[in-house]
Structure 1
Amino acid sequence: MHEFNKREGIISFFGSNPELKSVMISEIFDFIEQYLVVQYSDNESYADEIIVCNAVLLLWDLGYKNALQSLIRKYQTVCDEYFDEEDYQKIENITENEG
């Protein structure tokens, strides 16, 4: 429940501050680039793919179709693990939130 409240707060904040849309999208892409691969020893690492999934869900909830499709294209293999054709069709039918 706590994580849901954080997400609702983020969605509400960006929904009421549409002028921050481009900054937020840029920060999401930068964050994923920086933190997708987690190095936990000198020669071992893993991909923290759930951050991609959460970013997709956030962009989807905000209705940022263009950024959402860009993110999916960039991380298609990761997204295919979490989303199916029905989800992709729903994304295709989103009307871009110009906010």
Structure 2
Amino acid sequence: QGTNPGAKRRDDKLRQQEAGLNTFRRAAEYWYQFKADSGRSSATLKKIRDYLDKDLLPALGEKQLELITRSDCAKLQACIEKRGAFNVADKT
């Protein structure tokens, strides 16, 4: 008897989530490395790293990507604005 492709995809997705492969942190680090490998300047990479380390990763780093909501993003933006970092808030 053959395998059900839908069930296999669900099982694969569950295993990924359980292994922590689908977190915001992992995606952000992959994206950062992509930017670094694509020849971004060191100044640009420093800004990106600062945004990630100061704001994004502490708030969203361990969350599964599919569980991040608009509400999470709005709360993050409000926290950034509250500390007066409007330039950062506009970019997030």
Which TM-score bucket, shorter chain as reference?
A: 0.3 to 0.5
Task: Give the TM-score of the pair, scaled to structure 1.
Answer: 0.32
Higher strand share: 1
